[in-house]
């Protein structure tokens, strides 16, 4: 059930008067974690925290790292959700898991399916047919195809090399900040 602003204010007032979370849950037909989130939002942001629902938001890898480090230092998911306006503690749990598995690089990944762009432009590699001799025209055609494939592979290697260098540079900066 989606709560209106007025309902959220009533919940805050009821909590201040000493009503239990169970009583409030039964009255408004909601789960206990909803009450906790409403109270946290109110405590951190005042009445403005009750006005706007939390919408999907993009977080930079550095923001994710900050949240992960705070969790590893003892902050709860609920507390971090309220402070950073994150809709779900599961989001933070996923960031922590990726950080533990892959380090900073785990926080840089994109959501969703991988991009098809590279696959569309990637030339198809077909084995050469060596059963019959090729004509001059076929050899020229094959040569052009191989040059195109070679150009693609060079560009791909240069991209990956640059990306690797940037990641190593960022990790070096992170370790310098720690010391």
Tens-digit pLDDT profile for residues 82-140: 788 787 788 899 999 988 888 888 888 766 666 665 555 555 656 555 666 778 888 88
Predicted confidence band at 149 (pLDDT cuts at 50, 70, 90)?
very high
Structure tokens of 20?
């239990």
Domain coordinates of the chain in residue numbers?
1-53, 54-104, 117-178
Planar angle of CA 38, 83, 52, nearest 5 degrees: 50
pLDDT at 124 (0 to 100): 61
pLDDT, position 93:
92
Going by the DSSP 8-state scheme, the letter that residue 46 receives in this structure is: T
**Which is more confident, 134 or 143?**
143
Per the structure block, which two tokens stand in for 97? 């898991």
3-class DSSP state for residue 152? helix
C-beta separation of 87 from 81 below 8 A: yes
Q: Give the DSSP letter of residue 19.
A: -
For 38-82, write each residue's pLDDT tens digit: 887 788 777 777 776 555 578 888 889 999 999 999 988 878 887
The residue that leads in pLDDT, 163 or 116, is 163
Cβ(62)–Cβ(38) below 8 Å: no
Residue 59 CA to residue 36 CA, distance in Å, equals 23
pLDDT band at 176 (very low <50, low <70, confident <90, very high): confident
Which pLDDT does position 146 carry in this prediction?
Answer: 92
Q: In whole angstroms, what is the distance from residue 107 CA to residue 97 CA?
A: 10
pLDDT at 134: 74
Residue 15: closest CA among 37, 89, 1: 37
Report the pLDDT value the prediction gives residue 125, as an integer from 0 to 100. 58
Q: What is the pLDDT of residue 113?
A: 64
Q: How far apart are CA 128 and CA 25, in angstroms?
A: 70
**Which among 86, 94, 92 is positioned nearest to 55, based on CA atoms?**
86
């Amino acid at each position: 059930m989606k709560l209106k602003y007025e309902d959220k204010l009533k919940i805050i007032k009821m909590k201040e008067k000493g009503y239990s979370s169970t009583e409030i849950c039964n009255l408004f037909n909601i789960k206990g974690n909803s009450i906790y989130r409403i109270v946290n939002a109110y405590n951190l942001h005042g009445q403005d925290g009750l006005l706007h629902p939390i919408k999907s938001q993009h977080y930079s890898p550095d923001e994710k790292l900050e949240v992960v480090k705070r969790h590893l230092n003892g902050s709860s998911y609920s507390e971090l959700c309220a402070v950073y306006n994150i809709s779900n503690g599961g989001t933070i749990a996923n960031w922590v898991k990726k950080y533990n598995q892959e380090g900073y690089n785990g926080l840089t990944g994109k959501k969703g399916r991988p991009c098809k762009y590279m696959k569309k432009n990637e030339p198809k590699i077909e084995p050469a047919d060596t059963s019959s001799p090729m004509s001059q025209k076929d050899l020229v055609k094959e040569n052009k195809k191989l040059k195109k494939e070679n150009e693609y592979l060079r560009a791909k290697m240069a991209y990956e090399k640059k990306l690797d260098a940037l990641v190593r540079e960022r990790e070096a900066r992170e370790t310098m900040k720690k010391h």
